Amino acid sequence: MSPTFAAFPSMHPAPPVTPAARPMALTDGKRPHGSRLSALACACACLAAGAAWAQADQSAASPAMPSLASPQQRAEAQTPDDQVSATGVLQAVTVTGSFLTTEGTPSYTATLTNSTTGMAQELKDSTQSVSIITNRRMQDQPELGRIIDVIGNATGLSFQQSETNRFSISSRGMNVSSVSYDGVTTYYDTRFNFGDNLMDTALYDRVEVVRGATGFMTGPGNPSASINLVRKRASYRGPGVQGSAALGLGSWQLRRGQLDASTALTADGSVRARLVGAAQHRNGFLHRHGEQRHVLFGTLEADLGAATQLRLGADWQRNRSHGVMSGGLPLFYSDGSLTHFDRATNIAPRWAEDHNHNRSAYVVASHQFASGWKAETSYTHASAKRDFDNTYAFGSPAPLTHTGLQTSAMNRILGSRVQSSWDGKLNGHFDAWGRTHFVRLNASFNRNRYHNAYHAPLPGQLPRTWGDFTQPGFDLPAPQYQSESFTTQRGTRTQYALSGITELSVTDALALTLGLRLSRYQVRDDSFGPYFKPHNQRLSQPSRYLALSYKLTPEHSLYASYTDIFQPQTAMDASGAYLEPVMGRNYEVGFKSGLYGGQLNTAIALFEIRRDNVAIATGDTGPGGQAIYRPVDGARTRGLDAEISGAITPRWNVQAGLTTFVAHDAQGQRISRESANRSFKLFTTYTFAGRALHNLTIGGGLNWYGPTLRSVRNPARQSVDIRQPSRAIASLMLQYRLHPQAMLSLHVNNLFDQRYYTSYGAFTQYQWGAPRNVQLGFNYSF
**Using one digit for the tens of pLDDT, what is the confidence trace for 563-577?**
999 988 878 888 878
Instruction: State the average pLDDT for the chain.
Output: 86
pLDDT at residue 63, as a whole number: 34
Q: Kindly state the average pLDDT of the residues 712-731.
A: 92
Using CA atoms, how far apart are residues 23 and 482, in angstroms rounded to an integer? 39
Does position 666 have pLDDT exceeding 60, yes or no?
yes
Specify the range with the lowest mean pLDDT, choosing from 312-321, 464-473, 496-505, 743-752. Answer: 464-473
Domain boundaries, given as residue ranges, for the chain: 3-781
CATH of region 3-781: 2.40.170.20
Using CA atoms, how far apart are residues 460 and 480, in angstroms rounded to an integer? 10
pLDDT at residue 615, as a whole number: 86
Does position 719 have pLDDT exceeding 60, yes or no?
yes
pLDDT at residue 578, as a whole number: 82
pLDDT at residue 625, as a whole number: 67
pLDDT at residue 64, as a whole number: 37
Q: Please state whether beta strands 329-330 and 354-368 pair in parallel, antiparallel, or not at all (unpaired).
A: unpaired
Task: Kindly report the backbone phi and psi dihedral angles of residue 512, in degrees, each rounded to the nearest multiple of 5, phi listed first.
Answer: -115, 125
The more confidently predicted of residues 248 and 45 is: 248
Residue 518 burial (CB < 10 Å; 0-12/13-18/19+)? middle
pLDDT at residue 528, as a whole number: 63
C-alpha closest to that of 403 among 325, 463, 443: 463
Q: Kindly state the average pLDDT of the residues 271-289.
A: 97
Does position 78 have pLDDT exceeding 50, yes or no?
no
**Using one digit for the tens of pLDDT, what is the confidence trace for 329-369?**
999 999 999 999 999 999 999 999 999 999 999 999 999 99
Q: Kindly state the average pLDDT of the residues 498-503.
A: 97
C-alpha closest to that of 586 among 518, 636, 521, 652: 636
Q: Kindly state the average pLDDT of the residues 455-476.
A: 92
Distances from the Cα of 722 to the Cα of 24, 189, 312, 460, 757, angstroms: 10, 27, 50, 38, 12
**pLDDT category of residue 286 using cuts at 50, 70 and 90:** very high
Name the amino acid, one letter, at 317: Q
**pLDDT category of residue 437 using cuts at 50, 70 and 90:** very high
Q: Please state whether beta strands 174-175 and 167-171 pair in parallel, antiparallel, or not at all (unpaired).
A: antiparallel
Give the neighbor-by-neighbor strand order of the sheet with 225-231. 129-133, 204-211, 225-231, 178-181, 184-187
pLDDT at residue 527, as a whole number: 63
Q: Kindly state the average pLDDT of the residues 274-299.
A: 97
CA pseudo-torsion sign 268, 270, 271, 277: positive
State whether residue 10 is helix, strand or coil: helix
Compute the residue count for the chain.
782
Using CA atoms, how far apart are residues 735 and 694, in angstroms rounded to an integer? 11
C-alpha closest to that of 356 among 332, 398, 380, 388: 388
Does position 11 have pLDDT exceeding 80, yes or no?
no
- Beta-carbon contacts of residue 757 (< 8 Å; ≥ 6 apart): 23, 24, 724, 766, 767, 768, 769
Q: Kindly state the average pLDDT of the residues 34-47.
A: 42
Contact at 8 Å (CB) between 216 and 513? Answer: no
Give the neighbor-by-neighbor strand order of the sheet with 174-175. 157-161, 167-171, 174-175
Strands (DSSP E) contained in 695-768 are 696-705, 708-713, 719-724, 727-739, 742-749, 757-760, 765-768
pLDDT at residue 532, as a whole number: 63
Contact at 8 Å (CB) between 161 and 152? Answer: no
Does position 531 have pLDDT exceeding 80, yes or no?
no
C-alpha closest to that of 172 among 109, 217, 222: 222
- Residue 91: left if φ>0, alpha if ψ -120 to 50, beta else—which one? beta
Q: DSSP states of 41-110 as a string?
A: HHHHHHHHHHHHHHHHHH-SSSPPPPPS--TT--B-----GGGB-TTSPBPP-----BTT--TT---SS-
**Using one digit for the tens of pLDDT, what is the confidence trace for 746-778?**
999 999 999 999 999 878 899 999 999 999 999
Percent of the chain with pLDDT over 90: 68
As beta bridge partners, residue 158 has 170
The more confidently predicted of residues 379 and 538 is: 379
Contact at 8 Å (CB) between 502 and 426? Answer: no
Contact at 8 Å (CB) between 340 and 280? Answer: no
